Chains A and B, each alone.
Chain A
């Protein structure tokens, strides 16, 4: 297998990135450790969390930092995730910088409070180790937990490597706290696949992280007794709609904040972040769109796909909320066929959540691209090399009109 050199597109972007900060240390970390490490460097005022597999290692590791006095964080050990998120909202309302982490059923138990956090405009940062939602009970990776929360008003960032989780957690602090955004941010990383995978992470010096995030900038604080205020009053038909409209607006501001913070983080770390990552897309005839660790797997297979004489590319979507509609159109409308890989099913819908976004974006833009959907990896089912090759082969047939687009299932036993 002869691996070609990186082509233009995102590869060039990586090359153009500035040199990493002095004092950067390369550490071997698992995804969960990387989140805990980023949290240690952020040193939030309050962390309220409840353990759940596979997120447990995040809070375990972080509680060690608390016990060792490495952070000044008030760690609130609560009796459930509902209480964890409630405590986080209270602390954010008090003006604190707040972080937490969860997975699957824990996220589901937070449901009510997720919406409240977003509507109170509390910039909480939460790492979500993606895990399948019960039932039947399963502890392995899929995106059914965070996809269900896609309309809760949180910014949602998906990470595809251990280093990306680390970087995303740090950036999330700045994004959520940006003026005019003030929204909570979820940073997703695939349960076990990333959370328990040991990888090389270029850890920034503590001081760099601190100067990058700066001090907490609360707009309002319940503890500011000179300016008393009310959080959470009754908001009926005469004002609720306006407050929801404000949240739509905040997401629009988030688009800019994410770009700005990504660029600035690039200056500090040498690693640039945008809405997406494009691999071999410039001359691509067919392309795959994916989130999370699978995007990394595909990225590694692209040279082989090119060796098969398939002009295939990859669009790795980093942000699911706000969704990079314009970028999707710009990067994919010249391709003939696109396959969208979803690690969650939307029962009764016309495909998975990512597919719906992509196909809507291209359809509304009037693109001629054929869009097809693959549901894969539910409950931690592996996605293999063969599966990915099959997707690209299907795409070439689709581009020639020999296969119809539709929703297909990768790796399920028929």
Chain B
């Protein structure tokens, strides 16, 4: 089983490299309407905005999102008088602004050819990083994906491989 997974991972890594090439070609060509996944599958038709991070696996940092406050330089953080007492988080839902994607060493790569949209990965992902649109997996939110590999482990189709982070991010 482990060997089978490894083979799949190798295969996907190769596809990732291929996909990246495809994207570069497309960008060079000037037409940026269509983005491709690692496997070269169309994932989204949204035009990439300036400064928006992309990866070769069809994941992105959400548009307009800056790095979370917690990651800024020391001087910009609030002082002890200006933060809630006792470490309480008094504003709901702010986990969204905290970048957990920085912990990652490996990122998931989806082979959309194998994917049956069973959404197991979406259910299991501890961070809600699997992006789903109209009942279909469309990509991975790399701002939050912490690279735990649970999605790859749970995918019944072995359509997700964990690939070395260096090969998958900072494409541009």
- Residues of A at under 8 Å CB distance from B? 119-121, 182, 219-220, 227-233, 235, 238-243, 245-246, 249-250
Contacts and interface: CB of A to CB of B under 8 A. Distances in A.
A229 B88 contact: yes
B92 interface: yes
Contacts of B88: 120, 220, 229-231
Interface residues of B, number: 15
B86 interface: yes
Interface in B104-136: none
In the A-B complex, the 3 residue pairs with the smallest Cβ-Cβ separation, listed nearest first, are A242-B80, A230-B89, A121-B86
B90 A227 contact: yes
A119 B80 contact: no
12 contacts: A120-B88, A121-B86, A227-B92, A228-B92, A229-B92, A231-B88, A233-B87, A235-B87, A238-B70, A242-B78, A245-B80, A250-B85
Contacts of B90: 220, 227, 229
B89 A239 contact: no
Contacts of B91: 229
B77 interface: yes
A122 B90 CA distance: 15
Nearest to B93: A228
A119 B87 contact: yes
A400 to B, nearest CB: 49
A317 B148 CA distance: 55
Interface centre among B77, B79, B86, B87 (most CB of A within 10 A): B86
Contacts of B83: 239, 242-243, 246
Interface of B: 70, 74, 77-80, 83, 85-92
Interface centre among B77, B80, B89 (most CB of A within 10 A): B80
B64 to A, nearest CB: 24
A239 B87 contact: yes
A243 B77 contact: no
A119 B79 contact: no
A121 B85 contact: yes
Given A229-B91, A238-B70, 12 more contacts: A120-B87, A182-B85, A182-B86, A219-B85, A227-B90, A230-B89, A232-B87, A238-B74, A239-B77, A242-B78, A242-B79, A250-B85
A229 B94 CA distance: 10
Contacts of A233: 87, 89
Contacts of A249: 80
A154 to B, nearest CB: 14
A246 B89 contact: no
Contact of B89 (A121, A229, A242): A229
Interface centre among A230, A233, A235, A245 (most CB of B within 10 A): A230
Contacts of B85: 121, 182, 219, 243, 246, 250
Contacts of A239: 77, 83, 87
A322 B53 CA distance: 52
Contacts of B89: 229-230, 233
A230 B98 CA distance: 15
Nearest to A120: B86
A168 B84 CA distance: 29
A238 B90 CA distance: 18
Nearest to B69: A238
B75 to A, nearest CB: 12
A288 B88 CA distance: 43
B104 to A, nearest CB: 18
A209 B87 CA distance: 33
Contacts of A227: 90, 92
Given A245-B80, A246-B80, A249-B80, A119 B92 contact: no
A241 B77 CA distance: 12
A219 B86 CA distance: 12
A325 to B, nearest CB: 22
Nearest to A232: B87
A99 B132 CA distance: 49
Contacts of A182: 85-86
A228 B95 CA distance: 13
Interface centre among B74, B79, B88, B92 (most CB of A within 10 A): B88
Contacts of A229: 88-92
Contacts of B78: 242
B92 A243 contact: no
B37 to A, nearest CB: 33
A242 B77 CA distance: 11
A228 B87 CA distance: 14
Nearest to B79: A242
Nearest to A180: B85
Interface centre among A119, A227, A235, A238 (most CB of B within 10 A): A238
A222 to B, nearest CB: 10
A381 B89 CA distance: 49
Nearest to A227: B90
A167 to B, nearest CB: 28
A229 to B, nearest CB: 5
B95 to A, nearest CB: 9
A155 to B, nearest CB: 15
Contacts of B74: 238
B45 to A, nearest CB: 36
A238 B77 contact: yes
Nearest to A240: B87
B98 to A, nearest CB: 10
